[in-house]
Amino acid sequence: MSLKHLPRLGNKSLPLLVISIILGYLGNYFYLHLFLRLDFLFGSSFALISVSQHLALKIII
């Protein structure tokens, strides 16, 4: 199985990936309790932002 079709991480995108992973983990660890057992997880927001940015870069390239 070849991995040539996968995009490579550049020098600028690797630190952004590491930062988004850390923010996603911290966002899931420190949650905001809203009401009646409903919690808002910020980690999901960071994950969606990372995926949308990755797809936008892939479409541009």
pTM of whole model > 0.85?
Answer: no
Where along the chain do its domains lie? Answer: 13-52
Question: What are the tens digits of pLDDT across the range 4-59?
Answer: 665 565 666 677 777 877 877 777 777 667 777 666 666 777 777 777 776 665 55
C-alpha span between 52 and 8 (Å, rounded):
17
* 24 neighbors 46 (Cβ within 8 angstroms): yes
C-alpha span between 49 and 56 (Å, rounded):
11
Count CB atoms within 10 A of the CB of residue 59: 7
